[in-house]
Amino acid sequence: MNKKFLHLLSILILCGIVVSACASSPATTEAPAAEAPAAEADTTTDTTAEEAAPVSETPSCGTDPVVLNAYFETGFDLPFKLAEEFTKQYPNVTWDIKQDQFANLINETPRLLAGDNAPDLIRLPTMVSFAKQGLLMNLDDYATAFGWDEWPVPQLDQNRVGEDGTRGSGSLYAMGLNYSLTGIFYNKELAAQIGMTEAPATLAELEDLLASAKAAGLLPIMQWGSAKSGMGLAFPLQALMASVGPAQPISDWIYQKEGATIDTESNLVAAQHLQDWIDNGYFPTDINAIEYTDANARFGQGEGVFMFNGDWQNASYDTDMPGNVGFFLMPPAEAGGGPAAMSAPLTYGIAANAKNADCAAFFLNWVASNQTAREIDVAVGGSNPGGPADAVMPAVTEGSVTNETLAAGVVLGKTGSAMDFIANATSAIFAQGWTPELQKMVGGKQDAAGLLEAVQAEYLRELEE
């Protein structure tokens, strides 16, 4: 309160008579924070109390007109298409959709969630801090009501935040519209040129292929690396980490588990592999200046045999190089080992004080369980729609790379392990840790050991905040 008074005093002195302008003081900014409950389990019941009695029957959108207030990510059609179809099936629901770039959403989300007209549905770039600050609705009651708890476990894991602020277990704070998968895309024509007849089964086989691509005068791997897009070498690095070592410590680090470190022996081996790849000239020489879209365009034009990327790019690869693009998961170092891949939900959450939380939750359930929605999900999004274990996987156009990514997803689900992205460990670890340090590695100013050390130091510094 004392602080509030100080605020007010300083503002009053400064603004003098202009009372209306004084409304833009931080004195009031603090109010929602003070009211917002810390991440406690009763958030849901608090905020939904006025809408419906705590979920006794399955929540729905009712029959009265509802306007869902949503924030989507610019450049991705999927949520827009789903919203359109949802209104077709439930005409009483209309949408008020705002959109912004992902990078802007990272900066805007806390203020949107804390605002008065808080979004019913919002694309979440990160979630731990918002959950801890009490800005996100706890979805546990909805999970029970809709039976999400019975879905295959890995789907919801990444969206859970524990009371100690670690991810991976605890209460559910978000749902995925779909579950993307990363791995290695390849140009079929070029791969045939270097004698690749089937996907490599071990890391050594993959490295042989890279060497023969280089020897054949081809660019082995197309990847991006500009600070404007974020360093794309984080993809092969994480793939290597999970190939030479266990995936669990990487997940623990991403989930900010107590004592977790990225600076481990097996990760060092992985980073050394990456450094060898760089030194061998397996990546474009101008990688530090290549943006994400440029890298994809160049790969589409036939530059690069392989590219580490995710299935969200399927539709555009199918357009750029129809029938000529394939996909496989990063092979394990030892023959017969299980594959591991970065696989993250396209995360959407509900603000703690959203007006139409029930309807938003109903929508999230509909996306995963309605067959038309699942078809849109696969056709437009290119990724696995998730949902109940017994749900039918929609058919895919013949020759589309989506067939291969979906099949790989099944393999991963049975024998492998899925991880979130190492760039998502903290909100700034990508921009302040991985990107600059990997760029230095490309520039010959950082080695494998130094890379892991520097990123771990940045990680600890950010957690300290």
Partner 1 sequence: MLPVCSKQSRLNIYGNWKSKESGCVTMPEFSKLSSLMKKTSDKVRVPNKVSRRFSLGGKDRRETIIGGLFVTPALVMYAIFVLVPLVLSVYYSFFRWNGITPMTWVGLKNYRTVFEVPDLLATIFNAFKLVLFFSIIPVGLGLIVASVIQRVGSGRFGSITRTVLFLPQVIPLVAAGIIWGWLLALPGLINEVLTAVGLESFTRAWLGDFTWALPSVGMIGVWVLLGFCTVLLSTGITKIDPALYESARIDGASWWNEFLSITVPLLKYEIGVCLTVTVINALSAFDIVYVSTAGGPGNSTAVPGVKIYILAFTEQRIGLASALAVLLMILVLVVVLPLQRLNREEE
Given the rule CB under 8 A, which of 33-41, 186-194, 265-273, 384-392 is the region that contacts partner 1?
33-41
Given the rule CB under 8 A, which of 112-120, 142-150, 184-192, 410-418 is the region that contacts partner 1?
112-120
Q: Contacts with partner 1 in 317-356 (CB under 8 A)?
A: 353
Compute how many residues bind partner 1; rule: CB under 8 A.
62
Nearer to partner 1, 380 or 441 (CB): 441
Nearer to partner 1, 157 or 294 (CB): 294
> Which residue has tokens 């039918």?
392
Rounded Cα–Cα distance for residues 231 and 237 (Å): 11
Q: How far is the CB of 97 from partner 1 (least distance, A)?
A: 18
CA angle 48, 371, 317 (to 5 degrees): 105
3-state secondary structure of 99: strand
Q: How far is the CB of 210 from partner 1 (least distance, A)?
A: 21
Q: Contacts with partner 1 in 240-299 (CB under 8 A)?
A: 284-290, 294
Q: Which of 8, 97, 106, 411 binds partner 1 (CB under 8 A)?
A: 106
State yes or no: residue 98 binds partner 1 (CB under 8 A): no
Give 107's contacts (C-beta < 8 A, 6+ positions apart).
none
Q: How far is CA 292 from CA 136, 223, 231, 233, 298, in A?
A: 30, 8, 9, 11, 10
Structure tokens of 382? 């290119």
**Dihedrals φ, ψ of 185, to 5°?**
-90, 150
Q: Which of 8, 52, 97, 227 binds partner 1 (CB under 8 A)?
A: 227
Nearer to partner 1, 37 or 337 (CB): 37
Q: Please state whether 323 falls in left (phi above 0), alpha (psi between -120 and 50) or beta.
A: left
Q: Which residues pair with 410 in a beta bridge?
A: none
Nearer to partner 1, 18 or 53 (CB): 18
Q: Which of 5, 9, 26, 463 binds partner 1 (CB under 8 A)?
A: 26
> Which residue has tokens 């802007």?
104
State yes or no: residue 110 binds partner 1 (CB under 8 A): yes
Half-sphere exposure in the Cβ direction for 388 (13 Å, CA): 10
State yes or no: residue 30 binds partner 1 (CB under 8 A): yes
Structure tokens of 231? 């360093």
**Dihedrals φ, ψ of 359, to 5°?**
-70, -40
The neighbour count for residue 147, using CB atoms within 10 Å, is: 12
Rounded Cα–Cα distance for residues 309 and 320 (Å): 15
Structure tokens of 335? 């023959």
Strand extents, DSSP E, 119-274: 121-123, 160-161, 171-172, 175-179, 182-187
State yes or no: residue 212 binds partner 1 (CB under 8 A): no
Q: Which of 79, 220, 225, 385 binds partner 1 (CB under 8 A)?
A: 225
Q: How far is the CB of 291 from partner 1 (least distance, A)?
A: 8
Q: Which of 65, 91, 147, 443 binds partner 1 (CB under 8 A)?
A: 443
Q: Which of 18, 19, 53, 153 binds partner 1 (CB under 8 A)?
A: 18
Rounded Cα–Cα distance for residues 441 and 190 (Å): 28
Q: Contacts with partner 1 in 376-435 (CB under 8 A)?
A: 427-428, 431-432, 435
State yes or no: residue 171 binds partner 1 (CB under 8 A): no
Q: How far is CA 308 from CA 86, 150, 236, in A?
A: 34, 32, 6
State yes or no: residue 29 binds partner 1 (CB under 8 A): yes
**Dihedrals φ, ψ of 179, to 5°?**
-125, 105
Q: Which of 171, 296, 324, 439 binds partner 1 (CB under 8 A)?
A: 439
Q: How far is the CB of 227 from partner 1 (least distance, A)?
A: 3
Nearer to partner 1, 211 or 289 (CB): 289
**Dihedrals φ, ψ of 395, to 5°?**
-75, 150
State yes or no: residue 369 binds partner 1 (CB under 8 A): no
State yes or no: residue 21 binds partner 1 (CB under 8 A): yes
> Residue 351 carries which DSSP code?
B
Q: Please state whether 166 falls in left (phi above 0), alpha (psi between -120 and 50) or beta.
A: beta
Rounded Cα–Cα distance for residues 78 and 260 (Å): 35
Given the rule CB under 8 A, which of 71-79, 146-154, 219-227, 415-423 is the region that contacts partner 1?
219-227
Q: How far is the CB of 302 from partner 1 (least distance, A)?
A: 14
Q: How far is the CB of 134 from partner 1 (least distance, A)?
A: 9
Task: Give the residues lining the site for partner 1 (CB under 8 A).
Answer: 3, 10-11, 14-16, 18, 21, 23-26, 28-34, 36, 106-107, 110-112, 114-118, 129, 133, 135, 225-228, 284-290, 294, 353, 427-428, 431-432, 435-437, 439-440, 442-443, 445-446, 461-462, 465
